[in-house]
Amino acid sequence: MKNQYITFSMLLVGVGVYAIPQLSAAQLLTRAQTKSESSTDRQPARLADRSHSNRSVKKALAELEKRFNINFAYDEQLLAGRNTEADFTGLSLEQALTHLVDSQGLGYRQVNNKLFVIQASGAAQQVSKNLAAGNALPAMGTPAGESAVPSAEAPQVRRITGQVTDENGQGLPGANVIEKGTSTGTTTDATGNFVLNVSDGATTLTVSSVGYLRQDVAIGNQTVINVQLAPDNRTLDEVVVVSYGTQKRSNLTEAVSIVNTAEAKKVQAASVVDQIQGRAAGVTVASTGGAPGSTASIKIRGSSTFGSNQDPIYIIDGVIIGSASSDFNPNDIETVTILKDAAATALYGSRGMNGAIVITTKRGKAGKPTIEYNGYYGVQNIARRLPLASRDQYIRTWTAAYQNGNLAVPDFGAGGYNTDWQEELIKPGAITDHNVSISGGIDNGANKSNYRISGGYFSQDGTIRGRKPDGTEVSPYFKRYSARVNAGTTRGKLTISESAYLAYTNERRVIGQPFDNVIRMPPTIPVFDPNNLSGYGYGSANNATFGTNPIGQQAKDDNLVNSYKLLGNIYGEYAILPWLTYRLSVGLDFSNYQNKYFTRPGALSYNSPSAPNGILDDRNGRFFNTLIENTVNANKTFGRHQISLLLGYTRQRFDQNEIYSHTEGIVGEFYQQGAGTASPRTDGFSRISGIVSYLGRINYTYDDRYNIQANLRRDASSNFPKDNQVAYFPSVSAAWNINKEAFMQNNPVIGDLRLRASYGSVGNQAIDPYSLDPTIQPNLNYVLGGGNVIVAGAANRQLQNSNLKWESKTTTDVGVDATFLNGKIQLQADYFYSLSKNLLLRVPLPITAGNQGDNPYDNLGKIENKGFELSLTYQDKKGDFRYSLNGQLTSIRNKVLQLVPSNGNQPLYGYGQITRTAVGGSLASFYVLRQNGIFQTQAEIDAGPKQPNVTPGDVRYVDTNGDGTINNDDRQIVGTPFPKLEYGANISLSYKSFDLTLFFQGVSGNVLFNRSRNWTDRFDDVQNVRSDVTFWTGPGSSNTTPKPIKGDQTLNPAFNTDRWVESGAYGRLRTAQLAYNFSSAMLNRLKMGSARVYVNAQNLFTITNYSGYNPDVVGDVGSGQQNQSNFIGRGIDQGNYPVPRVISAGLQLSF
């Protein structure tokens, strides 16, 4: 397999590198050379050395161009196959040129002092007077692009100049200007100007630019033609990337969201997932924390399974992968399309249950080579500080707690320390990203080529620090080095294209839960204590906290990870007939990772084990994902009828192995297993699985008004028992373009109006490879026979269900797409209902059944999700002022319909029994006791329900069931971690050369469990407290916070109460960016295509009532990574790493 990997890697990169010189040569043959900077007096000597060699006429002309600083235009076919041995030594331009063309039976004509046209010998040969310097014709193709040469059959060349502008009269760079009916064309420069040489018989110019309506302009006798293009507001004619191909938006029958990648990239983050947040309706993105290199959690249209993996699949340049994390460079992205309903994801079958995100990366475009740079540097910091007590308040609070607990009060303040743990831990960190690329291509009709080579560097420092006892600072970090080569070529009916991405990441990960421990650690403990083996301060008899020193946590130990990733695809496509194509595509997703965790001697928390020497854990793994796809596409039009057909056969194979090793007793700084002297052990695994699939799609369109589409995929997975390996996933969808109807013509208000409806089924292979194999436990010895002989034995101790099958989800979707007022208003709205069934749940079995391991799975669970999505855009302009407002709104509700019927659908509990998933309710609802104030007097206690061990100053709880006793039976649902409403709003303003973007994002209707509040306000176990807390000291002093009691035996510190449940609603200014775009005049002076400078502020402010660091929380997490095992623990803030505020400046350039 290693050899296969090396071979495939070389193939991918080789195809891209090979394409580059071929493209450059092709460009030299279709346009004149760029101006040479060499002095002409040195050229003859160089040319003389090679002038006698047999070379092509094209190469001889190139020699003359360099020598005399001129340009030639010619027809490719005219010079094809012609060679010459002409010697130009000592000849003038006229002599050399006459000598060359006469020997070939050709002629030439001088257009101006810089341009000569090579033509057939029958054309009149003339030498014109040099044109005035101000009217000199630039090299063919103009400074901004390429211009095809006149054909040999067109003896005369006409020069057309002009400018292409937008609706405001501003020059449009990069607009295409083509002589209609030919391949002769050019592109405009940075100010919209162009120069084009057309044949004498030319009658029409076709002018086009992305985002504008194409326009045909009559030439007549004009030599100067200025064209003003109108914006193209026909959003339904946009081409959208979907599953296994592209479609016009007007032909879409499924529910998709198209992310504005230009706006999304203004969020400065390591992964594309963070950039998507709030950009697409129906897509929930929640932060897993602000640790360097972290990747947010993403769900499409709610939670569809009880399993741990609820993320969508990603299709990057045709390769199906499981995630697009921080090892993938988002700067390479061209388009992002989110597939949401079953009709959109049915062709991904067993991977489509959680939705799909289709990503294409940037490729070169026809034209001269373009060099681009995009980079920024920023400073990030955690803006919020929690109000924590200083030394004196801490001592007062815990003195009262010990006294109320009738305990001797320790000497809390021994040593005189007053440590601000937040100040010691939190610090600014840098974030920077730099990307450079070169791209280009040619387009000669049937022959096309393109290439793009890019490289990127991303670095993010942590906003926390560790410090060693010698003062050395150590911080988490994440670094990514990436390179990409995308290239493709079309020669007649054959197209070959490839994309190859290589990345190396290096990171030091966050250790433990620093934002949990920074709250717990008392201010009376120092950061460093030389009396401890580790050199760090932690709890003692005077300050009996079990919190961990967060500074030492990041510095004492090392958690280092590096990885390599190769993601590539190469395909060949052949047009069998004009309407029939075959494609073979081969993809690879490869990664290799290494993790070293080195633990140095000493402890960091009270009464924890203290290793006398170093401990090393090594984890090394490799992952292969190979994909081979064969597809046939047919697209045929019969009058008003259009039929498209897709048939495919695919094979995907997953191969992963990992080796783990552990050793102890290391003396010194040795990161090697061989340095250990005690407790060596190893572990590991190897997993191989595969999917074989057949797929098909048929789409019928009548008169561009009515569309109907059907999809079917058949998957066979090796993860399932033989009888259940195969599953079918069908879908059907339809759409009606109402605006195409006669009664809608010439409507002054409605531009586009489209109704959609779909129904389909998708699946989920929610089990790991080999998880259905019996688990054999060795070393179960038994006494057999009369001699009391112990015989070695083994037994199956974990039962498996051999009848497991696929999880599945059916989805119904109804949607509308519309534009109003000539495209100023754009609307997309969807209502959906989905039913997930056959969901895997563990069925409880008694040990007498022979099962001692985890309970076996069965296909029992059912969940429904329903919701509404709205995307609304308004855009307009007033003179030089342009503005647009785009809003996304999502409302989703989930309900559990079935769990395990055989045990009475008993609820599932998570995270200390505080979340409850029950039939008829939402997933992971918070199920806790509800507080009803504080007992102020003994009389209130006597009059209320029975509550154990209470005295005045203790918490009073609601007797929910009315039985007169407070216990766990009085718990009730107090909210859900899933927002009832999610929103995002992007405001874009521009005036002349300035533009301003503001992006707001937020959620409402959800609640969170604030573990930090639990630590500071429980008062039964020693840790720091809030500085703004007022606890009960007597009647009327507080009706919210009880009196502190060390070792409290009441329900005051109970974990499962709503004292720690808070609203998770928030609104955040996610991004604010102010930019200046250099003027055309300045760009001309700088000889640049474009230049843009900007300042950017990220997470500038957050409006929320949540008292923790950050309300944007996924769930029960540890060190910045989502706890995948606790699938119903969403909304638990257990020291999540807060997202930082980022202030940065950036620069974007093109040449």
Model confidence at 138: pLDDT above 70: no
Q: What value does the mean pLDDT of the chain take?
A: 86
Mind listing the pLDDT tens digit for each residue in 533-576?
999 999 999 999 999 999 999 999 999 999 999 999 999 999 99
Identity of the amino acid at 906: Q
The domain segmentation of the chain, as residue ranges, is 2-228, 254-367
Read off the pLDDT of each residue in 993-1015 and give the average, rounded to a whole number: 94
- Report the pLDDT value the prediction gives residue 233, as an integer from 0 to 100: 55
Mind listing the pLDDT tens digit for each residue in 696-706?
999 999 999 99
Read off the pLDDT of each residue in 101-122 and give the average, rounded to a whole number: 75
- In whole angstroms, how large is the CA radius of gyration of the chain? 35
Model confidence at 98: pLDDT above 90: no
Model confidence at 38: pLDDT above 80: no
**How far apart, in Å, are the Cα atoms of 1064 and each of 890, 987, 1077, 1103?**
16, 25, 39, 11
- Report the pLDDT value the prediction gives residue 121, as an integer from 0 to 100: 63
Q: Kindly state the tokens that stand for 30.
A: 């279709």
Read off the pLDDT of each residue in 157-172 and give the average, rounded to a whole number: 81
Mind listing the pLDDT tens digit for each residue in 827-873?
999 999 999 999 989 888 877 777 777 788 899 999 999 999 999 99
Model confidence at 439: pLDDT above 80: yes
Selection from 1139, 984, 987 nearest residue 282 by Cα: 984
Read off the pLDDT of each residue in 948-969 and give the average, rounded to a whole number: 94
Distance, in Å, from the CA atom of 590 to the CA atom of 564, rounded to the nearest integer, reads 8
Beta bridge partners of 558: 598
Model confidence at 39: pLDDT above 80: no
Taking residue 1151's Cβ as centre, other Cβ atoms within 10 Å add up to 15
Model confidence at 1000: pLDDT above 80: yes
Selection from 1094, 993, 986 nearest residue 378 by Cα: 1094
Do 898 and 906 form a contact (C-beta atoms < 8 A)? no
Helix, strand, or coil here: 1078? coil
* Topology, domain 254-367: Ferric Hydroxamate Uptake Protein; Chain A, domain 1 (2.170.130)
Distance, in Å, from the CA atom of 139 to the CA atom of 196, rounded to the nearest integer, reads 10
Q: How many CA atoms lie within 13 A of 1087 on its CB side?
A: 1
- Report the pLDDT value the prediction gives residue 860, as an integer from 0 to 100: 92
At 77, is the pLDDT very low, low, confident or very high (cuts 50, 70, 90)?
low
Read off the pLDDT of each residue in 932-941 and give the average, rounded to a whole number: 95
**How far apart, in Å, are the Cα atoms of 529 and each of 5, 512, 526, 669?**
52, 20, 7, 21
- Report the pLDDT value the prediction gives residue 33, as an integer from 0 to 100: 34
* Cα angle value 1025/1030/1033 (rounded, 5°): 110
Place of tokens 């946009």: 238
> What's 602's DSSP letter?
S
Helix, strand, or coil here: 1126? coil
- Report the pLDDT value the prediction gives residue 134, as an integer from 0 to 100: 35
Mind listing the pLDDT tens digit for each residue in 802-815?
888 889 999 999 99
Cβ-count burial of 181 within 10 angstroms (0-12 exposed, 13-18 middle, 19+ buried)? exposed
* Cα angle value 1085/1087/1092 (rounded, 5°): 90
Beta bridge partners of 267: none
Length of the chain: 1151
Mind listing the pLDDT tens digit for each residue in 299-353?
899 888 887 678 899 999 999 998 888 999 999 999 999 999 999 999 998 888 9
At 1128, is the pLDDT very low, low, confident or very high (cuts 50, 70, 90)?
low
Higher pLDDT, 122 or 359: 359
Selection from 1114, 916, 1129, 1125 nearest residue 284 by Cα: 1114
Strand-pair category, 782-784 with 775-777: unpaired
Model confidence at 407: pLDDT above 50: yes
- Report the pLDDT value the prediction gives residue 150, as an integer from 0 to 100: 36
At 143, is the pLDDT very low, low, confident or very high (cuts 50, 70, 90)?
very low
Read off the pLDDT of each residue in 1144-1148 and give the average, rounded to a whole number: 95
> What's 582's DSSP letter?
E
Higher pLDDT, 113 or 893: 893
Whether the domain at 2-228 and the domain at 254-367 fall into the same CATH topology = no
Distance, in Å, from the CA atom of 120 to the CA atom of 113, rounded to the nearest integer, reads 21
Mind listing the pLDDT tens digit for each residue in 704-754?
999 999 999 999 999 888 888 999 999 999 999 999 898 988 888 998 999
At 1088, is the pLDDT very low, low, confident or very high (cuts 50, 70, 90)?
confident
**How far apart, in Å, are the Cα atoms of 21 and each of 37, 147, 440, 488, 503?**
22, 20, 11, 13, 24
Model confidence at 41: pLDDT above 50: no
User: What is the 3-state composition of the chain as percent helix, strand, coil, each rounded to the nearest 5?
Assistant: 15, 45, 40
* Topology, domain 2-228: Immunoglobulin-like (2.60.40)
Higher pLDDT, 1110 or 191: 1110
Distance, in Å, from the CA atom of 698 to the CA atom of 635, rounded to the nearest integer, reads 10
Model confidence at 113: pLDDT above 80: no
At 6, is the pLDDT very low, low, confident or very high (cuts 50, 70, 90)?
very low
Distance, in Å, from the CA atom of 809 to the CA atom of 839, rounded to the nearest integer, reads 9
Cβ-count burial of 278 within 10 angstroms (0-12 exposed, 13-18 middle, 19+ buried)? buried
Mind listing the pLDDT tens digit for each residue in 1041-1055?
999 999 999 989 988
Distance, in Å, from the CA atom of 173 to the CA atom of 1090, rounded to the nearest integer, reads 9
- Report the pLDDT value the prediction gives residue 590, as an integer from 0 to 100: 97
Q: How many CA atoms lie within 13 A of 251 on its CB side?
A: 21
Do 384 and 1109 form a contact (C-beta atoms < 8 A)? yes
Show the beta-strand stretches assigned E in 1042-1112: 1061-1063, 1066-1077, 1090-1098, 1102-1104
Read off the pLDDT of each residue in 23-51 and give the average, rounded to a whole number: 35
C-alpha dihedral, 74 to 75 to 81 to 85, nearest 10°: -10
Do 1093 and 1145 form a contact (C-beta atoms < 8 A)? yes
Helix, strand, or coil here: 34? coil
Distance, in Å, from the CA atom of 807 to the CA atom of 862, rounded to the nearest integer, reads 10
Distance, in Å, from the CA atom of 80 to the CA atom of 1072, rounded to the nearest integer, reads 56
Do 343 and 711 form a contact (C-beta atoms < 8 A)? yes
Model confidence at 1118: pLDDT above 70: no
> What's 222's DSSP letter?
-
Task: Give the sheet arrangement for strand 215-218, strand by strand.
Answer: 185-187, 176-179, 204-208, 215-218
